[in-house]
Chains A and B, each alone.
Chain A
Amino acid sequence: MSTPLLKLEAVHTHIGAYHILHGVDLEVAHGELTVLLGRNGAGKTTTLRTIMGLWHPSAGRVLFDGEDLGALGTPEIAHRGISYVPENMGIFAELTVAENMLLAARGAKRPEDIDPKRLEWVFGLFPALKRFWQHPAGLLSGGQKQMVAVARAIIEPRKLLLIDEPSKGLAPAIIQNMVEAFRELKRTDTTILLVEQNFNFARQLGDRVAVMDDGRVVHAGTMAALAGDEGLQQQLLGLSLAAHQ
């Protein structure tokens, strides 16, 4: 494994009276796609939100490029080069697709100011975006909204993408589009931490995998090793890959 870009050391997170993360240890290597797997309520979303500073760790350290993010606010963390796509996609429904993208392009004052080369590259990943560029984002289908959410996260180069369940509720054709887009992102050496429950989707993309249960990482290794070991899948995820095919 190459040098970790992101490292969580014994991270605990409380939300009100609830103790959600119980000492998460996790490493995400430069240029790799790491998948965070686990059942509902295992702590995957809380882990992403803790990294993003939306909830602060009550103990432990979140190190990004060697810097402890624990004391920083969410905007400062975003400025370090981290993009976040939440589970609900975080689309601004009342704004057009162009306005959604403009918000993510922090240096641009108007949609025309967005770097045209980067924009063409994004349109190459999600060609449909070009057609509904001026449409209110709230009127798009779930799959189209997910495209906007991912496109918004990459409209400017970022060091790390945090993406929460991008395949959730999407039609197979749209999932395939997402797979192709993430493969292209991997070719550009983008580092990604992806939360997923769809093992088949995760298996196609992941370099490494971490499995969470009860607020802890209970397994970390390569995706190839997990995908090739049905017994381990049964043990960790309570399912077999065959059941998802």
Chain B
Amino acid sequence: MKPSVPAAPALDALPAVRPDRVPLMLLPVLVLAALPLTGSLSTWVTLTFAGLAMGMIIFIIASGLTLVFGLMDVLNFGHGVFITLGAFLATAVLGRMTGWTESESLTRNLAAVLPAMLAAVVVAGLVGLAFERLIIRPVYGQPLKQIMITMGGMIVGVELIKVVWGPQAIPLPLPAAFRGSFLFGEAAVEKYRLIAVVVGLAVFGAMSWVLGRTKVGLLIRAGVQDREMVESLGYRIGRLFVGVFVAGSALAGLGGVMWGLYQQSVTPEMGGQINVLLFIVIIIGGMGSVGGCFIGALLVGLISNYAGFLAPKVALFSNILLMVAVLLWRPQGLYSVVKR
């Protein structure tokens, strides 16, 4: 009997399109699985919102980092300095506007917070531009040197922040209208956590629109997959990278303000401490994938909060366990974009 030879596919045979939604399902599965474990609906609601808020802030900070890696294979261990810078700028701006932040008026509170966020975004973006030019550009394509020099850059940056603001922790109290909680039945959800979720969703929405609906976004998505081909089509990937790096630094500055307000205190070391979480998130999500980064950040935020409540000792390494589990399942992360 002759072995059967598979027929060549027809020239116009339509491929089956099956969007990969399995990683997305992890979020509802995790949230629902935590419900019986937490023991009460109100505790579950509070923990879930806390996790989502934390995840959203981490996403804002990490989204630029994952694109920076995806576009140019640059591992920027200095990303944390932009977070710290953003947070300290917020203390400087809000510290001069205490009359407005202590007012019960939401409008006056927003009129204080928005300039603080704007200052953080602009200054972190400009510092990011200088960081790329002076520190990263000389070590393109040299991963080991990138790790060393970006870490060195962060150490220098943190020391400069200490020179300006001092080494001690500085309080960053929430504006008056952001304090307190909303009550949903017996469940208390802090107002600021709700705000963080809204801001995080807005950033994710804006980023999805830019990446999905504009030519620049298309170039970024293409560059993450195959930068050499993007250059062969006539586009200067280096310029695109600088733009993404500046945007990523600016977002880290914004995230620094959000994180500082979340913690209600800022320290020069805060960026370095969050750095570890950022790398866990972008590895879980798949290097270069913004969607994966979003899911990864929410998973990390939720697991940190659930584990902190259910098993505080496990909380110390719960995110590492999550990363190991994801990598055992999908070694390239939840959504593999970079094939190099």
Write the residues of chain A forming the contact surface with B, with a CB cutoff of 8 angstroms.
52, 54, 73-75, 78-79, 84, 86, 90, 92-95, 99, 102-104, 106, 109-110, 127-128, 131-132, 135-136, 139-141, 143-144, 147, 152, 171-174, 177
- The answer to whether B11 and A75 have CB atoms under 8 Å apart is no
18 contacts between A and B (CB under 8 A): A54-B231, A78-B231, A90-B229, A95-B218, A95-B222, A99-B222, A102-B215, A103-B222, A128-B11, A132-B15, A135-B17, A141-B13, A143-B11, A144-B9, A171-B8, A173-B8, A173-B11, A174-B8
Q: How many A-B residue pairs have CB under 8 A?
A: 93
In the complex, A109 Cα to B221 Cα: how many Å?
15
Write the residues of chain B forming the contact surface with A, with a CB cutoff of 8 angstroms.
8-9, 11-17, 214-215, 218-219, 221-222, 225-226, 228-237, 337, 339
Report the 7 A-B pairs with minimum CB-CB distance, sorted nearest first. A171-B8, A78-B234, A128-B12, A90-B229, A139-B15, A74-B231, A141-B9
11 more contacts with CB within 8 A, not counting A73-B231, A75-B237, A110-B215, are A52-B232, A86-B229, A94-B225, A95-B221, A103-B218, A103-B230, A106-B235, A131-B12, A132-B12, A141-B13, A174-B11
In the complex, A177 Cα to B11 Cα: how many Å?
9
- The answer to whether B12 and A54 have CB atoms under 8 Å apart is no
In the complex, A90 Cα to B244 Cα: how many Å?
23
- The answer to whether A127 and B234 have CB atoms under 8 Å apart is no
Check A143/B9 contact, CB under 8 A, given A92-B225, A132-B15.
yes
Q: What is the CB-to-nearest-CB distance from B207 to chain A, in angstroms, rounded to a whole number?
A: 16
B233 partner, pick from A78, A93, A128, beta carbons under 8 A: A78
In the complex, A54 Cα to B232 Cα: how many Å?
8
- The answer to whether A75 and B8 have CB atoms under 8 Å apart is no
In the complex, A161 Cα to B228 Cα: how many Å?
17
Q: Which residues of B contact A147 (CB under 8 A)?
A: 11
In the complex, A152 Cα to B16 Cα: how many Å?
22
Q: Which residues of B contact A143 (CB under 8 A)?
A: 8-9, 11
In the complex, A106 Cα to B229 Cα: how many Å?
14
A75 partner, pick from B15, B16, B218, B235, beta carbons under 8 A: B235
Q: What is the CB-to-nearest-CB distance from A55 to chain B, in angstroms, rounded to a whole number?
A: 11
Q: Which residues of B contact A139 (CB under 8 A)?
A: 15-17
- The answer to whether A75 and B215 have CB atoms under 8 Å apart is no
In the complex, A99 Cα to B232 Cα: how many Å?
16
- The answer to whether A144 and B11 have CB atoms under 8 Å apart is yes
- Shortest Cβ distance from A109 into B: residue: B215
Q: Which residues of B contact A135 (CB under 8 A)?
A: 14-15, 17
- The answer to whether A136 and B17 have CB atoms under 8 Å apart is yes
Q: Which residues of B contact A172 (CB under 8 A)?
A: 8
- The answer to whether A127 and B12 have CB atoms under 8 Å apart is yes
- The answer to whether B17 and A99 have CB atoms under 8 Å apart is no
In the complex, A106 Cα to B236 Cα: how many Å?
12
In the complex, A173 Cα to B11 Cα: how many Å?
8
Q: Which residues of A contact B221 (CB under 8 A)?
A: 92, 94-95
Q: Which residues of A contact B14 (CB under 8 A)?
A: 131-132, 135
Q: Which residues of B contact A144 (CB under 8 A)?
A: 9, 11, 15
- The answer to whether A92 and B226 have CB atoms under 8 Å apart is yes
Q: What is the CB-to-nearest-CB distance from B105 to chain A, in angstroms, rounded to a whole number?
A: 43
In the complex, A140 Cα to B10 Cα: how many Å?
11
B232 partner, pick from A84, A110, A171, A174, beta carbons under 8 A: A84
In the complex, A89 Cα to B228 Cα: how many Å?
12
Q: Which residues of A contact B235 (CB under 8 A)?
A: 75, 103, 106
Q: Which residues of B contact A99 (CB under 8 A)?
A: 218, 222
Q: Which residues of A contact B12 (CB under 8 A)?
A: 127-128, 131-132
Q: Which residues of A contact B229 (CB under 8 A)?
A: 86, 90, 92
In the complex, A73 Cα to B215 Cα: how many Å?
22
- Shortest Cβ distance from A129 into B: residue: B12
Q: Which residues of B contact A78 (CB under 8 A)?
A: 231-234
- The answer to whether A86 and B232 have CB atoms under 8 Å apart is yes
In the complex, A106 Cα to B222 Cα: how many Å?
14
Q: Which residues of A contact B13 (CB under 8 A)?
A: 141
- The answer to whether A75 and B236 have CB atoms under 8 Å apart is yes
- Shortest Cβ distance from A131 into B: residue: B12
- The answer to whether A93 and B225 have CB atoms under 8 Å apart is yes
In the complex, A136 Cα to B8 Cα: how many Å?
20
In the complex, A199 Cα to B274 Cα: how many Å?
59
Q: Which residues of B contact A54 (CB under 8 A)?
A: 228, 231-232
Q: Which residues of B contact A141 (CB under 8 A)?
A: 9, 13, 15
- Shortest Cβ distance from B18 into A: residue: A139
Q: What is the CB-to-nearest-CB distance from A87 to chain B, in angstroms, rounded to a whole number?
A: 12
In the complex, A131 Cα to B10 Cα: how many Å?
12
Q: Which residues of B contact A94 (CB under 8 A)?
A: 221, 225, 337
In the complex, A11 Cα to B101 Cα: how many Å?
68
Q: What is the CB-to-nearest-CB distance from A142 to chain B, in angstroms, rounded to a whole number?
A: 9
Q: What is the CB-to-nearest-CB distance from B2 to chain A, in angstroms, rounded to a whole number?
A: 19
- The answer to whether B232 and A90 have CB atoms under 8 Å apart is yes
In the complex, A179 Cα to B218 Cα: how many Å?
31
In the complex, A54 Cα to B221 Cα: how many Å?
21
- Shortest Cβ distance from A132 into B: residue: B14
In the complex, A75 Cα to B218 Cα: how many Å?
17
Q: Which residues of A contact B17 (CB under 8 A)?
A: 135-136, 139
